Each structure stands twice: as C-alpha cells, then as structure tokens.
Amino acid sequence: MRKPLTIRILSALDKKSWIALGIFLALALVVIPVLHLNFPEDSALHVSTYAITLIGKIMCYALVAVAMDLIWGYGGILSLGHGLFFALGGYAFGMYLMRQIGRDGSYGADLPDFMVFLDWKELPWFWVGSDSFGWVAFLVMAVPAVVAFVFGYFAFRSRIKGVYFSIITQALTYAAMLLFFRNETGFGGNNGFTDFKRVLGYSITSSETRLVLFGLTAITLAATLVFAAWLVKSKFGRVLTAIRDAESRIMFIGYNPLWYKLTIWVISAVLCGIAGALYVPQVGIINPSEMSPANSIEIAIWVAVGGRGTLIGPIIGAFVVNLAKSWFTVSFPEYWLFFLGLLFIVVTLMLPQGLVGLWKKLMAKKGDAAC
Amino acid sequence: MLNTVNIFEDDRPEGSDGADQMGHFVTGELDLSHGVALYLEDITVSFDGFKALNNLNLEINAGELRCIIGPNGAGKTTMMDVITGKTRPDSGKAFFGQSIDLTRLTEPEIAHVGIGRKFQTPTIFEQHTVFENLELAMKTDKRVWKSLMAWLAGDERDKIAETLRLIRLDGEADRQAGLLSHGQKQWLEIGMLLMQEPKLLLLDEPVAGMTDDETMRTAELFVSLAGKHSLVVVEHDMAFVEKLGGLVTVLHEGSVLAEGDLATVQNDQRVIEVYLGR
C-alpha cells in the first residue's frame, strides 16, 4: 500500500514541532507586522525597521544553515563554499532588481548604472530576460543547481571526500569571487548591485514591501524546514546517513553514492540560492564579498554551534551567532573575529553536538535527577 | 542465453559510472547454465610491485559452499576486492556465471547482479536501528527517486521480520545497531546480506568474535543456504571449516596452493609447511 504524500509530509514533524512552527509563523506574519505598523516609533511595543531587516536577514542565513545541515550534518560532506550558491541566487535576483530601477538611476539610462559607467551600449547576453520576474525566479534556482551539479558530479565521481572536498569548495568560491570582482564579468565589479528602487513595481523601502519580504522569508524558512525533515526521515535520508557512516557498505549493498550525494548537494545549493534571492532585496546590496571564503566558513560555524544533524539546531545557531555578531560589531567591532574563532574552538572541543546537544544533555540530567 | 553478453564495449576506468547514469543497471541476467557461479582465471593484482594475487585461478560451482583458508597476506581479501569491483585486476578474467564480466562493473552494479559481501570487521550502519539496517539492504530498486518515495509494504515488513528471526535479533529490531555485541553485529551483517537475496555470498571471517555456540549456529545457517546460493567463506577457525564441509582451497602468496576436502588439505605437505614452516 502506498501512503499519499500529504500524510508523509505531515508525519515528518511531531505534534510539538508543528505547534512551534505555527507559533513562529503567527509571530512573523501577524504579530510583528501589527507591532510594526500600528504602534508609533516611540512606543515600547514598536518593532523597528532595523529589527525587521535584521531578523529577515538572519532568517535567510537560517535557511542557508538548514541547507548546510542537509549536506554536512546528514551527508557528512563539509562544504566551505556554500556562500557561492547564496551569492549566485542573490546576484540572479539582483539582476531583476537592477532592471526594476529603470531610468531612475544616476544616469537616467535604460541600462544599469555600472554598465553606463563602463560605456556599454547594450545588455550582455546573460542579462536577457532579467526584467522578467518569472525568468529570474527560475535563474535563482537553476544557476546554483547547474553549478552545483557540474562541480558535484566530477567531485563525487572522483570520490573526493573529507578535507579535500572542503578545500576545493573553498577554492571554488574564491575563484568565483575573483571573477565577480572584475568589471568585465558584467555584475557590477566590486560594487556589485545596490540602490534598488522597486520590486514587482512596489517601492522596496516601504514598510509594506519590507513586511511582505519578511513574511515570505519566514514562510520559506518554515517550508524548507518541513521539506528537510521529510527528506531526512525518508528512506533517502537513511541512505544518506548510511553513506556518511559506512560508504563502502552502502556500495556493496547496491546503492550508488554518487547520485545520492549529488541529489542532496544540488538541493542544498538551490536552497542557498533561494535564501540569497530573499536576502538581497531586504539588505539592499549584493557584492562579491558574499563569496569570500570567510563567509562560507561562518555558515559552517552556525551549523556547528547549533548542532549538526538536527535541522532545528542550525536555525538556532544562525540566530545566536548573528545576533551576537550584530551586537559585537556595534559594541566591540575589533573583537568580533576573535570571539567567532573562540566560539568555534569551544563548540568543537566541548559541544560536539552544539547547543541542541547541550540542551538534550541538560534535559537528560534533569530526568536522572528527578529519578 | 547468448543475449546476456556484456553490453559494455569499451574499457571503463575504475570508478566510472557509464551504465548507471540514471541508476540503470544494464548488466544482463545471471547465467548459471554451465553450473559455474564464479570463474577467476589468471588474476594478477600488484601493489607497488608486490603481487597480492599471482595468476589466481578459482572456480566456484553454482550452489557450492567453498572455504578459503591461507596465512595472512595470502590474498584472500584482495580476491574478494576483485570479485566485488573494489580492486581492478592488472590482468586476468573474472566472470559471474557465464556472461557477467565483473572487471567491468562498479561495486553497486555487482551488488545488483547478485553478489553480496560481508567484510572482515563487521560493517553495519551503527547510527541506524537494526530494522533500518535490514531495510536498507533489502533487494529493491535502489535509485534516488525510489528511495525518496519508498514506503515499506506489508510483505516487505514480513521479510524483515523473518530475517530478524533467522539472525536471532527479533528482540532488538529498534535498537541502535552500534550498541549490539560483536557477535550480534556479525549476525546483523549476515542478515543484511540475506536481505539482498544474492546468488553468491562472499563471507570474510564471518565468525570472528563469536562464541562457540554462535559459531555453530552460523555454520548451520550457511549449510542451509548452500544449494540455493553459492557461498565463499574465508575463515581461520578450523572447527568451523570442518563443520561447513565442502571443498577447501588454500591460498598462499596470491595463488592456489592446494584444493580438496579439509582432511586432504590438512595432510598436504606443502600446506603444513606454509602454516608451520616459518
């Protein structure tokens, strides 16, 4: 007997998690918008634009963290180049936002400002169609997917594993960064894209647009979590963790690890691309520094801090680390990187299961004490 | 059954995935019409000049239970690596049945045509439950899409339950496999092998770390499997080998030194020299 997909997806999370997810969505879609729009700025209940942008940004990071957990926590493959897929999604959507500026740029031209500055007369071929939301939405997923597929196919086929794989992914994102730094590449060089005005015709800085983007990000994060939970609970997920733990055994019972790794690798890249596309309109800028190796390493730190292979842990990790970052970079900007390094060392040495592992340990101790 | 000749025309490098681009295993049917399950001819494998296998010849009949013995470094594990596609021989032929050329298939493809392998140290999925270990091993379509949509049917659950009873782990189905005793892990791996429904089972030291009682029960299980399956057992435990009956092949320095029933082999002067001479 085959179970319908809806029932399978419903059984991906337990009751408590569904309730938590419902509360999260209610907060993001109802409570925060109401607090933002209905209370004056000096009210204690007012949620500021700054807060909404910050949380929206962190939710995008959390989405990347879940994508990273799928490949690292469950697949056992540590990518130190996930920032690349995030940036590709961001750039793809940024192209659309650049086109939405229309003639309101500094030069009042049809072409984006940086092209006018470079004295280009027409759009490069890969910008064709970038004024169409539908086409760009497709690119947001397709570009990371194709890059991930091609790279992953050769890497996994050659059975490149462990630290070698991680180093190659670092090199990949670094090479892409250098490429995007060049003006001739056609993505605005080191300035990237910024000064966005509109999205789908609506002003990008208005409260309503911000709240819609915020809500969309929350919905995407929630949906990704459900999808990821379903994925890891399926037989596919069990094969994936089996590959992580004993790859030779999985081959000798007839699974080809290549296609399993490639599938989760591409899914992970696509999720990062979507996160990047949601990030750019909220933050208002995308430039090649998003591809810097340090950014990708930070993604791994979020996941490690929250707890690998738990799905919820990486979301917690992304929030904890990034909230700490935004506090540190205001209060003690020069110490942030030291703190980040320290955090990584402490987590690696003392909390191999991250915050979620710590929580579980504490709960278990409490249970023992009660007995 | 001439239509079952191997379809791969050009030599493929190790680790290539030509035929299973989308997970299809186009490898033809197992042809046992001449009564030969496994045929190795002049297999040579060298690692940095050291010949792990040296013109090895071996023939296993369909339904046969064969024991392989030999001192350390005789090439027993390398031989299994060649049969299962992990190591490509420098020269020689390796056929499964009449038509399946093992030197041209990848590990998962070889698993699909019906060769199951048990490793020397029990290799199971320690983070998964006993039940899940068997579920993953079960003979089925093992492509990505099928795994995404897989949902255990009633008869599949029955099959797992049956195997659980056979390997005496029916009380441990939901236990994490890493928590089993060494002997239980060995049995679980044997159970996983059976779930694959292979035609040929390669068993590398299956009773290492088992109690005498477990060893004897394993022997009974293997004897009952012979006939329907072909078995190749590498083992040092002579009591176990004796209990299995069947032919014994002695490997030494990468080739066959002697072959016959256990008593004959044990009285062979060269075998005695190899085992005791140094």
Which A residues, 149 through 188, put their C-beta within 8 Å of a C-beta on chain B?
Answer: 157-159
Q: Which of A157, A243, A259 to mutate to test the interface with B (most CBs of B within 10 A)?
A: A259
Tell me the count of A-B CB pairs closer than 8 A. Answer: 92
**Nearest CB to A236: which of B123, B147, B154?**
B147
A258: contact with B, CB 8 A cutoff: yes
Distance CA B89, CA B40 (A): 11
pLDDT for the residue numbered B5: 38
CB contacts, 8 Å: B116 with chain A: 252-253
**Nearest CB to A242: which of B107, B116, B136?**
B136
pLDDT for the residue numbered B24: 42
Work out the mean pLDDT of chain A and round it to a whole number.
Answer: 93
Name which residue leads in pLDDT, A231 or B272. A231
Residue ranges of alpha helices (H) inside A234-256 are 235-245, 247-252
Closest by alpha carbon to A240, among A214, A212, A259?
A: A259
Residue A371 has pLDDT above 60, yes or no: yes
Residue B1 has pLDDT above 50, yes or no: no
Would you state the structure tokens that stand for residue A238, as one six-digit string? Answer: 């069990």
Q: CB–CB of B144 and A259 under 8 A?
A: yes
pLDDT for the residue numbered B28: 61
Mean pLDDT confidence for A33-57: 90
Residue A80 in 3-state DSSP?
coil
**Nearest CB to A256: which of B23, B123, B126?**
B23
CB contacts, 8 Å: B120 with chain A: none
Inter-residue contact B60 to B32 (CB < 8 Å): no
Name which residue leads in pLDDT, B88 or B209. B88
Residue B27 has pLDDT above 90, yes or no: no
CB contacts, 8 Å: B128 with chain A: 238, 241-242, 245
Mean pLDDT confidence for B16-31: 50
The alpha carbon of residue A254 is apart from the nearest alpha carbon of chain B, in Å, by: 4
B21 pLDDT band (50/70/90 cuts)? very low
Q: Which of B24, B124, B133, B147 to mutate to test the interface with A (most CBs of A within 10 A)?
A: B147
pLDDT for the residue numbered B9: 37
DSSP state string for B12-40: --TT--GGGTTS---------TTSEEEEE
A7: contact with B, CB 8 A cutoff: no
CA–CA distance from A339 to each of A306, A315, A342, A346, B56 (Å)? Answer: 16, 20, 5, 10, 61
CA–CA distance from B209 to each of A38, A190, B214, B215 (Å)? Answer: 72, 63, 9, 9
A241: contact with B, CB 8 A cutoff: yes
Inter-residue contact A245 to B127 (CB < 8 Å): yes
Q: CB–CB of B127 and A245 under 8 A?
A: yes
Q: CB–CB of A235 and B136 under 8 A?
A: yes
Q: Are strands B115-118 and B200-204 parallel, antiparallel or unpaired?
A: parallel
Q: CB–CB of B151 and A2 under 8 A?
A: yes
Distance CA A322, CA A50 (A): 14
Q: CB–CB of A255 and B142 under 8 A?
A: yes
Q: pLDDT of A78-134, one tens digit each? A: 999 999 999 999 999 999 999 999 889 888 888 999 999 899 999 999 999 999 999
Q: Which of B136, B139, B190 to mutate to test the interface with A (most CBs of A within 10 A)?
A: B136
DSSP A47: P
Q: Which helix (H) or strand (E) holds A358?
A: helix A354-370
The alpha carbon of residue B124 is apart from the nearest alpha carbon of chain A, in Å, by: 7
Work out the mean pLDDT of chain B and round it to a whole number.
Answer: 85
pLDDT for the residue numbered A5: 75
Which residues of chain B have a Cβ shorter than 8 Å from any chain A Cβ?
15-17, 20, 23, 84, 86, 106-108, 110-112, 116-117, 119, 123-128, 132, 135-137, 142-144, 147-151, 153-154, 192, 196
Q: pLDDT of A284-306, one tens digit each? A: 999 999 999 999 999 999 999 99
Closest by alpha carbon to B205, among B186, B221, B224?
A: B186
Distance CA B99, CA B31 (A): 6
pTM of the predicted protein model? 0.89
Residue with tokens 């794989």: A165
| Burial B91-105, CB ≥16 within 10 A → b, else e | ebebbbbbbbebbbb
* Phi, psi values for residue B48, rounded to 5°: 50, 45
Residue A11 has pLDDT above 90, yes or no: no
CB contacts, 8 Å: A234 with chain B: 147-150
Name which residue leads in pLDDT, A268 or A328. A268
Helices A235-245, A257-283: crossing angle, 10 deg rounding: 110
Mean pLDDT confidence for A155-160: 94
Distance CA A189, CA A43 (A): 42
pLDDT for the residue numbered B49: 82
CB contacts, 8 Å: A255 with chain B: 108, 136, 142
Q: CB–CB of B127 and A8 under 8 A?
A: no
Q: CB–CB of B151 and A250 under 8 A?
A: no
Mean pLDDT confidence for A7-18: 86
Residue A263 has pLDDT above 70, yes or no: yes
Q: pLDDT of B158-212, one tens digit each? A: 999 999 999 989 899 999 999 999 889 999 999 999 999 999 999 999 988 888 8
Inter-residue contact B199 to B230 (CB < 8 Å): yes
pLDDT for the residue numbered A273: 98
The alpha carbon of residue B237 is apart from the nearest alpha carbon of chain A, in Å, by: 25
Our measurement of the distance from residue A332's CA atom to the centroid of its chain's CA atoms, rounded to an integer in Å, reads 26
**Nearest CB to A235: which of B23, B117, B150?**
B150
